[in-house]
Amino acid sequence: MVVGRLYKTVKQNPILNLKQFQTDNGDRVLNLSTRGGSAATARAIAEQVGVGQATIRRAEKFADVVEALQEVSPQAAERVLRGEVRDAFVANSQNPAAFSRQG
């Protein structure tokens, strides 16, 4: 969830996109290019987190789904975040009752 939100925030904000990976003294840790767009951002975050670019993109999709579910049913979103729902992408997010069942 955190990685997905980070990726979404950085790719949508060109200032963050350029400054996100700078050290305190202003040196860039990673060279982020506006020519690379979201691909450069995904690559940079993936390197920092230690995962692949596809994982970063899936994390963004997961964060989007949980945020949408939060609007429909906060309890359901909480269950997803706690890992109580086995496959949140397959589950019917239009039916919050499916998420709110105990067990």
Supply the pLDDT for residue 10.
85
Supply the pLDDT for residue 60.
94
Question: Which ranges of the chain have pLDDT less than 50?
Answer: 20, 31-35, 102-103
Quote the Cα angle for 89-95-98, to 5°. 75
For 6, the domain range is 2-100
* Cα–Cα dist 5/80, whole Å: 16
- Number of separate domains in the chain: 1
Supply the pLDDT for residue 3.
93
The structure's pTM equals 0.63
Which ranges of 35-102 does DSSP label H, i.e. alpha helix?
Answer: 37-49, 53-72, 74-81, 97-100
Supply the pLDDT for residue 32.
46
Supply the pLDDT for residue 33.
47
